[in-house]
Chains A and B, each alone.
Chain A
Amino acid sequence: MNKILLIIKREYLSRVKKKSFLLVTFLVPLVIIGIYALTIYLTARSFESNRAVVQVIDQSGLFKGQFTDTGQITFEEITADVQEAKTRILSADGKTLLLIIPDNIERAGAVELYAKEPAGLSVQTAVSRKIEEVLRDRAYAKAGIDRTVLDGIDPEVTILSREITEDGEKDSSAGAAMGVAMTLSVLVYICLFLYGAQVMRGIIEEKNSRIVEVIISSVKPFQLMMGKIIGIGLVGLTQFILWIALSSALAGVASVGLLDARSVRTEMERQQPESDVSIKADADRPASGMFGKAARELGKIDFQAIIITFLLYFFGGYLLYSALFAAVGSAVDSETETQQFMFPITIPLLFTYILSFGVLVNDPHGPLSFWLSMIPFTSPIAMLVRIPFGVPGWEIALSLALLIGGFILTTWVAARIYRVGILMYGKKASYKELFRWFRYNG
């Protein structure tokens, strides 16, 4: 037992001490936050740099004095000849645009916007909004509708999804649950392969460098295999726990970033004074608006439970699959030879992974979902996909028990192949061969 601890320690420390581990552990959350921050920053920047002068030739005469400057766009009403104005645009810089409103604007519903470079989307939106507003006001006036009355009528319906359970009612959220479920399925799928492959590579390395014979003259092959599997598994757990810790720490920074984003939005909307009211409401009333809605939906999900079940299923699934990866690693001399054995290992995971985007998410409590979340080979993904939708405790307990049973079985099978495989140098193994190894005594 002491020896297996030594092996776990070596496998763990030799990986955790690597620069690449630290890099990945600290960079991944930073990169995610960084991308987030960069998006916000660039969005903010784009508003600053998009200042433009729009020269307006209003042939309809409907818009006289209607164009008020925004922080972004300065409007100039001019009365020049169209051709002449166009030539002037050519000699002006790219930030000067020419807007021609035809006299049949009310019928045609189209204006022409000339510029040396294609006009930016935000300028186009601002211009068209302004024109639409003026036209709408005219239409309201014609129909005898008071605009202030109309603005006051703004019905909005939010669906408050509630589950009835034996413990009483609770909020549930299909949308957010779906998002979380998919994220989890991707994460488990990638991580099972990532860390399973590390086990396989470690074993091939030991076999190739021939140290394996020295080691197994001191410890049992089973101890070496389990030590490696557990050691690398702990590396994976360490990475996740650090990621979770770092992410929650950075969430503080992120929420500041979120505030920034709001101020950007406010800034953006401020340029259209008419919608000022709704923005204020946005900030104060989290029930409406995308940000608030997402936050509220996510708030309904029990993240603590999800993180715990995620870690349990990741580790269980990892133990089950990495034992198989270990058997594959012991049977080959190089990574290129692993293909033929990897395929059957990949199938159940890939199958569940693909299903998770369709069947499992749409029908998380159906029979297929239930059975997939019970079979140990598929449950690490299937159950995690179901969990955000709420799964009865007994199902989780049964599934975990089956997973543990499954991993004991695969470990037993793998260990029998492994103990023979690691001593077979330069021999290309076939399935028949593996089966024969499995049946060897001692």
Chain B
Amino acid sequence: MPVSQRLNGMLDIRNIVKQYANHRALDNVSTHVEKGSVFGLLGPNGAGKTSLIRIINQITAPDSGEVYFDGQRLNPDHISRIGYLPEERGLYKKMQIGEQMLYLAQLKGLSRKDAIDRIRHWFEKMEMQSWWHKKVEDLSKGMQQKVQFVATVVHQPDLIILDEPFSGFDPVNASVIKEEIQTLNRNGATIIFSTHRMESVEELCDSIVLINRSRKVLDGKLKDIKRAYRTNTYRITYLPSDQDITPLDGVFTIESLEPAVDHTTLTIRIAEGHTINDVLAYLISRVQVHELKEVIPSIHDIFVQQVTTQITEPQTHEQNTTDH
């Protein structure tokens, strides 16, 4: 990646190693988060996601490697530009919501007056005006999550890191929060979603990094990854017909054929050097095509595929990751 592009990045993570006593939490992890993007930090539990987030938040320091934030070496001044919603949520139970928000916002570097203005603004937006004097312990779990979310974004951070953001939210609040996150992103904030439930953020992310067992499995733009992992597999449904569809040598192979009452579903893989049009040309002369769709692997599928190759053939994985 050229240097100029790196400088335009929100985060540039280079060769991070974090070692705990007898456990290497991060092993030479590098990735890049573009400004204004929605970035997925994905991997199973215990992969090292939280360790990486803590390094970005300067809660812990890496043993080696560097993090660049907005083109500068990560330093304490950046703390006020990051908003962090930890996986383990928590607030002072006995403290009033308003006072607590004010405290957290001021710790992030806002002046008291600015903090009050921003909190008012958010409380209005999230319909929480009446909560100012309430204590956290008097709120429901869902309400507490809302409070926590506001606390994360109240100081208008450039980078918002959300660790397992939708766990614990009821569906209504989850969609409210999702919308708010997207609005923040449209207004210029860079978002990092960290989750082990890859399907929950797939639709939201522009780019991802996959981490497994402390190592990066792959990263890059979601659409590039999907393109790279496309298998030229298509699913075609056609109306019932007497014609038998058989693989066409050199053009496509049949993965599966599932006849049903009103239509038959055919999954094919196109051979190198051919396109879907070649297949269609063959099919149209035989059956009435009803629907055609490319089978795109989900991030989860890619992850599973990568992880299994990583376990069976660790060497090829290294090559894979350095390609990106």
Contact = CB atoms under 8 A, between A and B. Distances in A.
Interface of A: 3, 6-7, 10, 14, 205-206, 209-221, 423, 425, 436, 440-442
B23 to A, nearest CB: 12
A321 B92 CA distance: 25
Q: Which of B54, B93, B95, B107 has the most CB of A within 10 A?
A: B107
Contacts of B84: 213-214, 217
Contacts of A441: 61, 63
Nearest to A210: B90
A6 B103 contact: yes
B107 A210 contact: no
B258 interface: no
A441 B60 CA distance: 9
23 contacts: A6-B103, A6-B107, A205-B93, A206-B92, A209-B91, A209-B92, A210-B89, A210-B90, A213-B59, A213-B86, A213-B90, A214-B86, A214-B90, A214-B148, A215-B107, A217-B57, A217-B59, A218-B107, A218-B108, A221-B59, A423-B54, A423-B59, A441-B63
Interface in B3-61: 20-21, 54, 57-61
B90 A209 contact: yes
A412 B45 CA distance: 33
A217 B63 contact: no
Q: Which of B54, B59, B104 has most chain A Cβ within 10 Å?
A: B59
Contact of B60 (A14, A425, A436, A442): A442
Given A10-B103, A442-B61, A217 B79 contact: yes
B21 A436 contact: yes
B201 interface: no
Contact of B86 (A7, A206, A210): A210
A84 B148 CA distance: 90
B93 A209 contact: yes
B84 to A, nearest CB: 4
Contacts of A3: 107
Contacts of B148: 214
A7 B92 CA distance: 13
Interface in B197-252: none
B106 interface: yes
Contacts of A209: 90-93
B113 to A, nearest CB: 15
B173 to A, nearest CB: 19
A218 B60 contact: no
A211 B63 contact: no
Nearest to A18: B94
B104 A218 contact: yes
B45 to A, nearest CB: 14
B81 to A, nearest CB: 11
B151 interface: yes
A441 to B, nearest CB: 6
A218 B58 CA distance: 9
Interface string B69-98: 000000010011010101011111111000
B79 A218 contact: yes
Nearest to A437: B21
A442 B62 contact: yes
A14 B86 contact: no
Nearest to A223: B107
A205 B63 CA distance: 30
Contacts of B80: 218
Contacts of B108: 218
A217 B82 contact: yes
Nearest to A219: B107
Contacts of A220: 76
Given A7-B107, A213-B88, A218-B107, 9 more contacts: A3-B107, A6-B103, A210-B88, A211-B90, A215-B107, A219-B107, A423-B54, A425-B88, A441-B61
Q: Which 7 interchain pairs have the tightest Cβ spacing?
A: A210-B90, A442-B61, A218-B107, A210-B88, A211-B90, A213-B86, A217-B84
A214 B84 CA distance: 7
Contacts of A211: 90-92
